[in-house]
Amino acid sequence: MFANKEEFKYTFLQRLEMVYGKRFSESTALDQYHTLGNMIREHISNHWIQTNERNRAEHKKQVYYLSIEFLLGRLLGSYLMNLGIRDVVEEGLKELGIQLRDIEEVETDAGLGNGGLGRLAACFLDSLASLDLPGHGQGIRYKHGLFDQKIVNGYQVELPEQWLRHGNVWEVRKEDLAIEVNFWGKVNVYTENGRLKFHHIDAEKVMAVPYDMPVIGYDTKTVNTLRLWSAEPAKFPMNKNVMQYKRETEAISEFLYPDDANDEGKILRLKQQYFLVAASIGSIVREYRNRYGHLKDFHQHVAIHINDTHPVLAIPELMRILLDEEEMSWEDAWYITTNTISYTNHTTLSEALEKWPVYIFKPLLPRIYMIIEEINERFCRNLWERYPGDWKRIEEMAIIAHGLVKMAHLAIVGCHSVNGVAKIHSEILKHREMKRFYEYFPEKFNNKTNGITHRRWLLKANPELATLVTEAIGTGWIKHSEQLIELKRYATDASFKEELAHVKMKRKAILAKLICEKTGIAIDETSIFDVQVKRLHAYKRQLLNVLHIMYLYNRLKADPNFTIYPRTFIFGAKASPGYHYAKRIIKLIHSLAEKVNHDKQIKGQLKVVFLENYRVSLAEKIFPAADVSEQISTASKEASGTGNMKFMINGAVTIGTMDGANIEIFERVGSDNIFIFGLTAEEVLHYYENGGYHSYEYYHHDQRIQQVVNQLVNGFFHDAYDHFEPIYDSLLAQNDQYFVLRDFASYVEAQEKVGTAYEHQEKWLEMSAINIANSGYFSSDRTIREYARDIWNIHE
Ligand code: 26Y
């Protein structure tokens, strides 16, 4: 179709005029974007159909990845790259007088997620398709993705995100494949031919309408599917109040993470979860029945993966279909269900472990609740046999206890595989958080260290560096990321390092320009770009970073002879709307920036920048420009982290704790090429178990700490003098749950080492090159191969 740029130009112009009824000269960037998008969709439609036909004909086992989040970002650039037509298109457009980059910029991010878990799902889709594996995503087509963040006077303001405002060129609505989902009502139980029957009556029906998006792999004909479900009123609603019914129905796919502070919000979240699951399983089963007629060997041809516990109702939903529709025995249904479904845990934080009150659950999903009760009873009976008389243990492990349904327990009991996302995380699950379950089901537990698609995060995001890499080691790394290790021998090659420095400078200049445009802050392009971008959360300790900057500032002010290598501290973070503490940290960063950036006395040695509305497309501009990657979570708290990998592959050096995947980065690059500080996970957990840390002592004994902590409340930040009291209290009155003060001295020391190391450019560039060389392991291709082999049992 686009054999050469002449052909491309011809088709492009013809399509544009045909669809928009205007001359090219009158067209907008948005028209051009839509035209390109439509051309790509047509271009791949044959491969999309063929992929589905091949899957059917070859009876290949299919994987479905169920996730409440898919943080896709922009798709145009990534699809052009994966199809290998970027150059043709770029050159063709140039001859028409337009820049491909400008067209790319009008695409709104598909921001259907809030952080690592959602971006991981998106990276996995790319790897599945690129490895020619039959793996598809299923999620919710939220009308509004994660809120748009505006900063007003230093405070975060949330605006509804509107990614569908101009339509979505990548999707195909498939109304004929809609699935009916049932809520509320009651269950009639009766006997028929000696079998118990369950009849769900008076249910409120909701239509789940699928929108399919193609997932185009790199340099392959495989086109998988991401199916996103939209909630619509049923054709013939039985409800009295039709308007209210319509509103309530559409609310299901309106927002990602509606506020769940009250019961109404909780009901809506649980509705979303069941909606996703019932629609996904419903469509998988329907397709399967069409092909095989019955569900007896379902687990041999289908694998369903649940991304955290949010889609865990897949377990009782599949049971419901096998029991009530297929009329299987409990034992057969259970065997098929547990052998089909597998589960990844992404956190050990107790506030993120989902527990639903029975009083909400039972009326909303009456039949599903009955099935969970039965699963729980059978499980508890087994526990009783194994641990007779051990009430405490059984109570601890039960799926329903004290009026709550524990979703993680349901996941472990109902899946054949449970995995953590980094070595240390999986160990913590086995030996602490899920210890009892590991004792009972040791064979289920395994680790799959996270990865990122190196194609988006290096090849697409940083073409300058990608070209340099290719010049050194050829193009093999694009499909085989492990080949990046061949860069190791260039780590001491002077001309390679010179090029590397050049590329980094170029990317820093691009980011500096963007920062200036967005914030008005002029930054020194030769300063160290020290970056912390991630969700805002106490455990991620943006506060530790801030306190260190305050300390540097104080020192520069107090001692005119003290100098540092100039540094620009760059932040990007959204705070979840109800998380007031996190929002205060955002304000704190802004207040600090205000003070530091305008202080002539420190002679531009320090700058603080907050980039608003951090999201995938912005991330792609930040990672390539970073010198230092801040991965400073309280050890044991960050399950893995994946930003750390995106920095590493772009040649940034990590300053971090021994937490999550940092540990595996450390193991690969060695202690000379990473800056590690702070308590270990063992030490942190020991403190938690023995209550041994007293933050006040650290405050009392360390003048530097005392000064910066006092400055939170003593009028130092005069624009918000009483706004930071809760932060002050978290550090002292609440005894610093995240060990910020405990790790402060060690962090300062590590930061000093960073500054010194950077001054030795030759050595620094060597560190940078070694980081890139060792990043191949952290490709999601590797991760997906492991899932495919160990958990899903699927093959190309
Ligand atoms: C439902 C609600 C309580 C909830 C909403 C979102 C619970 C969890 C989440 C999201 C969690 C998340 O993004 N976790 C991150 O997953 C990444 C991918 O595995 C990890 O790298 C990262 O450490 C972890 O915080």
With CA atoms as reference, report the closest residue to 111 among 102, 119, 103, 99: 119
Is 534 known to be catalytic? yes
Which pLDDT belongs to residue 237? 67
Which pLDDT belongs to residue 360? 97
> What is the Å distance from ligand 1's center to 733 Cα?
28
Q: Which atom of ligand 1 is least distant from the CA of 660?
A: 23
With CA atoms as reference, report the closest residue to 748 among 525, 555, 589: 555
> What is the Å distance from ligand 1's center to 111 Cα?
15
Residue ID of nearest Cα to ligand 1 atom 11: 117
Dist CA 332 CA 625 (whole Å) = 55
Which residue matches tokens 């702070």? 678
- Which of these is catalytic: 86, 455, 540, 607? 540
Dist CA 65 CA 179 (whole Å) = 18
Dihedral sign (CA 247, 252, 256, 258): positive
Which pLDDT belongs to residue 596? 97
Which pLDDT belongs to residue 239? 66
What is the set of domains in the chain, with CATH numbers? 1-58+75-108 (no CATH), 59-74+109-450+785-792 (3.40.50.2000), 454-778 (3.40.50.2000)
Dist CA 632 CA 730 (whole Å) = 18
Task: Express each pLDDT in 546-568 by its tens digit.
Answer: 999 999 999 999 999 999 999 99
> What is the Å distance from ligand 1's center to 626 Cα?
24
Residue 309 and residue 273 in contact, taking contact as beta carbons nearer than 8 Å: no
CA distance readout (Å), 186 to 183, 203, 204, 324, 510: 9, 7, 10, 15, 60
Dist CA 627 CA 622 (whole Å) = 10
Which pLDDT belongs to residue 261? 85
Measured from the CB, is residue 346 less than 6 Å from ligand 1?
Answer: yes
Measured from the CB, is residue 757 less than 6 Å from ligand 1?
Answer: no
CA distance readout (Å), 141 to 43, 48, 69, 81, 430: 24, 20, 10, 25, 35
Dist CA 119 CA 131 (whole Å) = 18
Give, for ligand 1, the residue of 119, 269, 308, 638 to mutate: max count of ligand atoms closer than 8 Å to Cβ.
Answer: 308
Q: How far does CA 384 lie from the centroid of its chain?
A: 39
Q: What is the pTM of this model?
A: 0.98
Is 555 known to be catalytic? no
Is 540 known to be catalytic? yes
Residue ID of nearest Cα to ligand 1 atom 2: 352
Which pLDDT belongs to residue 242? 87
Is 227 known to be catalytic? no
Q: What is the mean pLDDT of each run of 10 residues along the chain (796 residues)?
A: 86 93 93 95 92 89 98 97 95 96 97 97 98 97 98 98 97 98 97 95 96 97 97 80 92 91 93 98 97 96 98 98 98 98 93 92 98 98 98 97 98 98 98 96 98 98 98 98 98 98 98 98 97 98 98 97 97 97 98 96 94 98 98 98 98 98 98 98 94 92 98 93 95 97 98 98 98 98 98 91
Q: Fill in the DSSP letter of residue 631.
A: E
- Which of these is catalytic: 266, 456, 646, 742? 646
The pair of three-digit structure tokens given for residue 325, joined into one six-digit string: 């529709």
Residue ID of nearest Cα to ligand 1 atom 10: 117
Residue 567 and residue 527 in contact, taking contact as beta carbons nearer than 8 Å: yes
Which pLDDT belongs to residue 236? 72
Q: Which atom of ligand 1 is least distant from the CA of 120?
A: 18
Kindly give, in sequence order, each residue whose CB lies less than 8 Å from that of residue 142, ignoring residues fewer than 6 positions away. 112, 253, 254, 255, 256
What SS3 state is found at 541? coil
> What is the Å distance from ligand 1's center to 345 Cα?
9
Residue ID of nearest Cα to ligand 1 atom 4: 352
Q: Which atom of ligand 1 is least distant from the CA of 421?
A: 19
Task: Express each pLDDT in 390-427 by its tens digit.
Answer: 999 999 999 999 999 999 999 999 999 999 999 999 99
> What is the Å distance from ligand 1's center to 675 Cα?
25
- Stated as kind and residue range, the H or E segment containing 173 is strand 172-173
Which pLDDT belongs to residue 56? 86
Dist CA 141 CA 174 (whole Å) = 13
Which pLDDT belongs to residue 352? 78
Beta strands in 491-534 (DSSP E): 528-533
Measured from the CB, is residue 258 less than 6 Å from ligand 1?
Answer: no
Dist CA 268 CA 278 (whole Å) = 15
Dist CA 139 CA 653 (whole Å) = 35
